[in-house]
Amino acid sequence: MFLRFVLIVGFVAFAAGFRNAQAELVYELFFRTAAGDGVDSRVTVAPGETFTNVQAILRETISGTSDSLLGSSNLNAFNAQVLAAGSDGGFSERQTDGDGGNVVNGNSPDRFTFTAFSFAGQPGKAPNMIDAAVREVTLGSLTLTAPTAGETTFTLADGTIGDGDFTVFSNVMGLERLARDSGGGFFGRSLTLAATVPEPSSLAFLGLLGGGMVLRRRRR
């Protein structure tokens, strides 16, 4: 009985060590703006400020010994959704990058959707290699508008709750599942734009300025 227990413990330890020795694949969807990358971050901006040519990015980060999926095979399909929650901020001018394949549902205002077919000679999306462990693919672009007051959170999310929205030519299982199986994950990241609020002293100054202008007009 004791020997059986030792064997079980040994097997569990071996399995855990084996898993830790393998690569962890982490995929992140996020917005890249002039104010920086929106990786669950918060940025204070002017009320109603507009950010044009905001890039929608898929980033792969690997650790361990396994090879990059994006490094071995181009991305041949993706489906990402733009979400906005909070105050009156919004997004517009969404445009999917269709180079290397086909834009799907091009009229959808809140989705980046793409597919490529090898039999049609379409290469799909080759990643940009940032370093040995990080690769990125640009899915498209859009314009983000900050709220006039309060905060608006923009999220670039997986298109559906199931797997298979993001695939490479060499594996149609979906990057979502492959990431989980590796011990990593697939994450939609958020960017919160917070409208600045004038300080009390600034409000008082504006009040005095407004009052002075009214008084001047009355004297005229």
* pLDDT for 67: 79
183: left (phi over 0), alpha (psi -120 to 50) or beta: left
Please, are residues 70 and 121 in contact by the beta-carbon 8 Å criterion? Answer: no
| Highest mean pLDDT out of 58-67, 98-107, 163-172, 198-207 | 163-172
Local confidence band at 13 (pLDDT 50, 70, 90 cut-offs): very low
Residues 58 and 25: their CA atoms lie apart, in Å, by 13
Q: Which residues does residue 141 pair with via DSSP β-bridges, in sequence order?
A: 55, 95
pLDDT over 80 (residue 15): no
The chain-wide mean pLDDT, for the chain, equals 85
* pLDDT for 20: 41
Residue 178: inside a domain, yes or no?
Answer: yes
Please, are residues 50 and 84 in contact by the beta-carbon 8 Å criterion? Answer: no
Residues 30 and 154: their CA atoms lie apart, in Å, by 9
Residue 99: inside a domain, yes or no?
Answer: yes
pLDDT over 60 (residue 93): yes
Local confidence band at 219 (pLDDT 50, 70, 90 cut-offs): low
pLDDT over 80 (residue 132): yes
Residue 220: inside a domain, yes or no?
Answer: no
Residue 180: inside a domain, yes or no?
Answer: yes
Domain that includes residue 92, residue range? 22-205
- pLDDT > 90: percent of the chain: 74
Residue 17: inside a domain, yes or no?
Answer: no
* pLDDT for 7: 32
CATH number for the domain that contains residue 52:
2.60.40
Residue 215: inside a domain, yes or no?
Answer: no
* pLDDT for 107: 78
- Quote the longest CA-to-CA distance of the chain: 103
* pLDDT for 1: 46
Local confidence band at 200 (pLDDT 50, 70, 90 cut-offs): low
Residues 51 and 58: their CA atoms lie apart, in Å, by 19
Count other C-beta atoms under 10 Å from residue 7's C-beta: 10
Tokens of 100: 């290397």
Residue 4: inside a domain, yes or no?
Answer: no
Please, are residues 154 and 31 in contact by the beta-carbon 8 Å criterion? Answer: yes
Residues 41 and 191: their CA atoms lie apart, in Å, by 5
* pLDDT for 45: 96
Number of domains, the chain: 1
